[in-house]
Structure 1
Amino acid sequence: MPMPLKRNVVQQLSLTYRAMMLAFDAQVGHPLPRWRIILALAERGTCSQKFLAEHCRLDPASLTRQLQSMEALGWLSRATDPQDNRLTNVTLTATGMTVYDEATPRRQAFFDDALAGMTPAEIATLESALGHLEAQFKAVATRAKEAEPVEKASGETKRRTAAAPAEPASPVPVAAPRKRASRRQS
């Protein structure tokens, strides 16, 4: 596939995702990240914030903001885990279950509307292609993470992967970065 076409496919995927997020919020009545939290709690019961962050694919700070907002609306409650005080457990309240029950039919209608006009074969092909792309993106992320520079105690930076080519030594010595003098607070 020519390079511009490959780039356009990935760019289109990003545009499609953004359009899907806006349409989901408009039809279901909840932003998708918030809905993922509601759905996880409705289906699984009480969950730790750590589990929710991983399961809903949200960074912990974003999750905390969502949970604080939902807690203020009375949709969920949070409490320290009795077995491990490092964890905070989250539970959907009766009001939160009502929100879930009311939004679930709108969510199904969103799915139906989004795929209207597509044959089962087209849907299967799309699902397969998206699954392949997800696997590719995960592999790219893994490779990139493995190739991140690692700072050594000597101040020298090396790549994590052994296959990375060594950089030639600089003919000019490089000065170490200066440490800034700390100011005393009076």
Structure 2
Amino acid sequence: MQAAFSARVGHALPRWRILFTLHENGQCSQKMLAERCRLDPASLTRLLQAMQQQGWVARSADPHDNRVTNATLTPAGQAVVDEALPRRAAFFEDALQGLSPEEVQTLSRLLDVLERNFAHAGATRTPVED
């Protein structure tokens, strides 16, 4: 799925998640981006640095808390998102072909449940024996 998405939309899925999250939410802290995009903080920082060098993202210290770094799309970044959104929509339209609206809704609900269950399972640690 990731390879097909990247080929069709023109962006690797982790990068796209960051761009799309900033598009939907505006300015975000790096911590929130890491959580929403399901990326570890180090990977997120590397991706943000690369996008900052491309002129797509601006990062700055939070005016209320210097320990927090915020990210936002630049006008160039917004143009990148605007250009990719129709390709993203076409990708998902093709991927969901043959499913009724009810089936798509059921699939979405089931994937939400699985995502919550995976998050819970990942947070519940069991001791590993040597």
Bucket of the pairwise TM-score, normalised by the shorter protein: 0.7 to 0.9
Shift of 1:132: 3.4
1:33 counterpart residue number: 14
* TM-score using structure 2 length: 0.88
Shift of 1:87: 1.0
2:98 counterpart residue number: 117
Cα distance in 2 between the residues matched to 1:120 and 1:91: 34
Shift of 1:128: 3.7
What value does the CA root-mean-square deviation take over the aligned residues? Answer: 1.7
Cα distance in 2 between the residues matched to 1:85 and 1:46: 15
Larger RCO: 1 or 2 (CA < 8 Å, sep 6+): 2
Identity of aligned residues (%): 56
1:74 counterpart residue number: 55
2:74 counterpart residue number: 93
Shift of 1:45: 1.3
1:81-125 C-alpha deviation (Å, 9 max, x unpaired): 122111111111110010011011111001101001222343234
1:51 counterpart residue number: 32
Name the one with the larger helix percent: 2
Task: Give the greater-gyration-radius structure (CA).
Answer: 1
Cα distance in 2 between the residues matched to 1:46 and 1:139: 28
How many residues matched? 128
* TM-score using structure 1 length: 0.63
Paired residue type of 2:82: D
Structure 1: stretches of 5+ with no match in the other structure: 1-19, 150-186
Shift of 1:59: 0.3
Structure 2: stretches of 5+ with no match in the other structure: none
Structure 1 segments, 4+ long, off by >4 Å, are none
Cα distance in 1 between the residues matched to 2:70 and 2:109: 35
2:121 counterpart residue number: 140
